[in-house]
Structure 1
């Protein structure tokens, strides 16, 4: 079946412009043609859909998500009981992914799944059993024994030493990983009240959980298999080692220096700053602990803004990811992240490209998704208004298409 979509405005993601009075022709699950309505070649038997006054653009991509991450829920203890099955956690994850799809997120990079459950969710999506975004999953997070999130049920693959890490990466690949996620130096200084003390902050900051040799072999094995590597970092020593190891994306890196950002730019590494989640979480933790949330949030805001502005000047590739795992924060918060980008100096068009083309390239899927062009998979959304003028236009998609099928229409 061939569908022709007519829109008042088109944002392809290829460049930063908006084209008026456009048509996108979809044959099966792929885009067949894109162009001005008056000149685009449309088969005579195509079904025309006039979308009206709004903007058609590529489906959004969340580059940092945890659909199975139930740990922050008020009833999390129930999930951790042996009686709470993987099936129930899977259904929980599906419910989160359904929210994402309704919000116009057509692809999710899952950077850590309980018992690798999103591998099967993606298989179920491909078979048509569930209606959720396509999922690019890493399976379990490879972390040292006792390392970052080691205490989360089924979330990590703990390994030590060069050969232990090599084996862990190979086992995640065998289990179906689409990329490898490493975690090193994961704590941040607001995890507990005791870490307010400068000595404790320094101890956490200096504690790199993986050695350079362990990180090197992890990246080597992943790249040998043709997979990309994401690395969770917070403090500078971990960032430096991750850069040296040659990871493909660096997540968070909240406390890196200007020199680290320059190294990221030089190596072409994608930085996924998760700004909105970081500031929102600090505020929530401060409120919970009776701390001065205004001061803490301001310090966090200033630090993140400085790094972001530097990244823009250096031409660093910036990925858009939510990292939403708290019930107090809307799970489908990608628009909030894009607004954070715009508040820190990006144009709306550049922010949109981060959530589409840049994210697709970070996945290694730039030849399939992320832009509206002939031959690409037909993942797209239609929103009222013009998101290049106001990103809030993205909050209520009127149409969502995934793999050439309309999966949401309002």
Structure 2
């Protein structure tokens, strides 16, 4: 059956322009045509929906998410222990992904899943078992023995040496990874011990975990398979190794230098700064302070995210430089913290605007640019004939106000309306 969506405005994502009084014609999950509403020849069996005054645009894409991460009190301390079965974590992830879909996020790149569960969830989606966004899943995070988040049960694939890393990449691809995720060093928080020896931060935290040779082989093997590789890194010199190896996307990169950003520009690496994750951590720490004052929480809880205020300002500087250099930036939330909405992509896009992007640039980042970073831009990311009909309808014009994205009135995935409200 043919479905025709009419509306006042269409933002295709291909450029900054708006099409007025046009319609999108959808057949067999895909966009068949976009044409002026006055010129449509309506087939007898077609369903026509006049959405009225609002804007149709491509479904949003979250380029950095962890739907299988469970950090919700009071039982967050049990995460990663046998009490949390794969089935329970998968059900939790599906619930989070459903919230994402309702919020207009039609594609999620899972940058590290417990026991590769997101790959199974994507299979379930394709078979029609669950209604969630399409998922681009990396499988398990490749780390050196004892590396970043090694203590999270089922989340990582520990591998050492050139041949060990080569085997790990091949194993994750064999298990269905849509891309590879590797971590060269850890997060931007400090434990009590490091806090007590702050002058030793350079020695203790600012190091690297994988050698240049190990990073090189990870990239070579991933590209040999025709896939992309994402690298989690915060500190130098690990950032330098990732750039030198030629990763496709660099996640976070919080404490890069200006020279590092210039190298990213030269190598055309996509930077995913995950700005809102830092904002969320700052808000969380303020809540912790309030709870400590009320006797609800131990004081050492403040150590979680202790560098976030510093990293936020660092990211602002790097973002402004990246804009000047023409670096391609992707938008991802990296949200897995207590009391934070998983569907926070609009906050990330708003942060991009606050840091210097135009709203049109931010919208293209959350759609077309993110699809290019996935390598899926031939299928999704813009509204164009032949592409999957992944789209959302919002009241008003997001080019004037990104807040319109917070309340989509219609969400469509694969040509099917999956969420609708007045």
The answer, yes or no, to whether TM exceeds 0.5 is yes
- 2:404 corresponds to 1:404: no
Q: Deviations over 1:339-359 (max 9, x none)?
A: 100100111111011110000
User: Within 5 Å, which residues of 2 pair with 1:136-155?
Assistant: 136-155=136-155
Distance 1:269 1:97, change over 3 A: same
- 2:187 corresponds to 1:195: no
Is contact 2:258-2:321 (8 Å) kept?
A: yes
- Which position in structure 1 is the counterpart of 2:293? none
Q: Deviations over 1:164-184 (max 9, x none)?
A: 010011000000000000001
Is contact 2:281-2:308 (8 Å) kept?
A: no
Q: Deviations over 1:61-114 (max 9, x none)?
A: 000000100145431234434243211111000000000000000000000000
- 2:368 corresponds to 1:354: no
* Shift in Å, 1:45: 3.0
Is contact 1:205-1:236 (8 Å) kept?
A: no
Cα distance in 1 for partners of 2:110, 2:204 equals 26
- Which position in structure 1 is the counterpart of 2:343? 332
Structure 1, 33-42 or 85-94: larger mean CA deviation: 33-42
Is contact 2:71-2:338 (8 Å) kept?
A: no
Distance 1:284 1:192, change over 3 A: farther
Q: Alignment partner of 2:253: what SS?
A: strand
Distance 1:110 1:296, change over 3 A: closer
Q: Alignment partner of 2:178: what SS?
A: coil
- Which position in structure 2 is the counterpart of 1:271? 271
- Which position in structure 2 is the counterpart of 1:180? 180
Distance 1:41 1:235, change over 3 A: farther
- Which position in structure 1 is the counterpart of 2:64? 64
- 2:124 corresponds to 1:124: yes
- Which position in structure 2 is the counterpart of 1:310? 321
Is contact 1:73-1:326 (8 Å) kept?
A: no
Is contact 1:54-1:383 (8 Å) kept?
A: yes
Cα distance in 2 for partners of 1:40, 1:240 equals 54
Q: Alignment partner of 1:38: what SS?
A: helix
- Which position in structure 2 is the counterpart of 1:19? 19
Q: Alignment partner of 1:206: what SS?
A: coil
Is contact 2:393-2:408 (8 Å) kept?
A: yes
- Which position in structure 1 is the counterpart of 2:352? 341
Cα distance in 1 for partners of 2:401, 2:133 equals 24
Distance 1:8 1:355, change over 3 A: same
Cα distance in 1 for partners of 2:308, 2:255 equals 15
Structure 1, 73-82 or 240-249: larger mean CA deviation: 73-82
Cα distance in 2 for partners of 1:133, 1:168 equals 28
Is contact 2:137-2:178 (8 Å) kept?
A: yes
* Shift in Å, 1:38: 1.9
Q: Deviations over 1:94-140 (max 9, x none)?
A: 00000000000000000000000111100100010000000000010
Q: Alignment partner of 1:236: what SS?
A: coil
Cα distance in 1 for partners of 2:312, 2:345 equals 18
Moved over 6 A (4+): 290-293
Cα distance in 1 for partners of 2:278, 2:255 equals 12
Is contact 1:282-1:296 (8 Å) kept?
A: no
- Which position in structure 2 is the counterpart of 1:159? 159
CA RMSD of aligned residues (A): 1.9
Distance 1:40 1:245, change over 3 A: farther
Cα distance in 1 for partners of 2:79, 2:231 equals 27
Cα distance in 1 for partners of 2:314, 2:391 equals 34
- Which position in structure 2 is the counterpart of 1:365? 376
Is contact 1:79-1:89 (8 Å) kept?
A: no
Is contact 1:34-1:40 (8 Å) kept?
A: no
- TM (norm. structure 2) is 0.93
Q: Alignment partner of 1:171: what SS?
A: helix
- TM (norm. structure 1) is 0.96
* Shift in Å, 1:203: 1.9
- 2:14 corresponds to 1:3: no
Q: Alignment partner of 2:315: what SS?
A: helix
Gaps of 5+ in 2: 290-298
- Which position in structure 1 is the counterpart of 2:101? 101
- Which position in structure 2 is the counterpart of 1:380? 391
